Amino acid sequence: MLNPNLPPTPTRTATSAASARSGARVGLEGAALTALTSLAALVLTGCAQTQGTGEKGFNSGDGIVTVLPVAEREPLPELTGRTLDGQSLTLAEYGAGKTVVVNVWGSLCGPCRAEADDLVEADAELPDTGENAVALLGINVRDPGPGAAQAFVREYGITAPSVVDEGEALLTFSDTLPANAIPSTVVIDDQGQVAASIIGETTKATLVGVVDEVQASGRTAAEQDS
């Protein structure tokens, strides 16, 4: 069931989690795109277009939520990268059989700091084992070195790994759901398909609600196919 705190998201319609403040309703173009790698390109493009605006040039977005119907979801290409502690990580192994929440962040990004506690709380609430298991994965961007990013995860008690984007990780998402702001969050269903995105700062309630909706729609589709 969709979390009651999550703004309703009609089929294939983007709605603003901050509509009470901005009244913004933004249509996100493109069906499910290709891969975890291309998201980075679009995210970085969005930042480049907003240099000199906001904090450190980051475009925080409006918390725009998009959930794709199961029939419109497409597989995400493979993502492999190095984590903040230098370990190799492959998404196919890390998230096998789980719903994966991928959060794009930077330590200098004000909205990333604002949502950090909510991400930690959502990660603690969402199950990490069983039928509805969820795994959280970060993609760290725009930090000049690992020190600032490592200090960020220590400060907020983040235990989920983050892949350091070196120009390829975000590109995996370019043909997925467009992400033109940092922070942005993409939800990948347990079939490895891009299922939802939150463009801009999110909250625990919104993230948990989106994950619940993605999983519920997946179960419904599986029942209809059986």
Look at phi and psi of residue 55 and say left if phi exceeds 0, alpha if psi is from -120 to 50, else beta.
beta
For the beta carbon of residue 97, count every other beta carbon within 10 angstroms: 10
Instruction: Give me the pLDDT at residue 175, please.
Output: 62
Q: The pTM is what?
A: 0.73
Name residues of the chain where pLDDT drops below 70. 1-62, 167-180
Check residue 77 and give its pLDDT.
Answer: 81
Q: What's the confidence (pLDDT) of residue 80? A: 86
CA atoms of 200 and 42, how far apart (whole Å)? 13
pLDDT for 169 equals 66
**Residue from 30, 24, 61, 65 nearest 43 by CA:** 61
3-state secondary structure of 180: coil
Query: Quick one: pLDDT at residue 76?
Result: 84
Q: What is the pLDDT of residue 64?
A: 87
The overall average pLDDT reported for the chain is 76
Task: Describe the strand order of the beta sheet including 61-67 as a list of residue ranges.
Answer: 15-16, 61-67, 194-200, 184-188, 99-105, 134-140, 162-164
**What is the reported pLDDT for 3?**
47
Which tokens hold the place of 117?
């506690």
pLDDT, one tens digit per residue, over 103-141 is 999 999 999 999 999 999 999 999 999 999 999 999 998
Let me know: does 128 contact 101? Beta carbons within 8 Å.
no
Q: What is the pLDDT of residue 203?
A: 95
pLDDT of residue 205: 95
Q: Which among 209, 216, 213, 196 has a CA at the least distance from the CA of 66?
A: 196
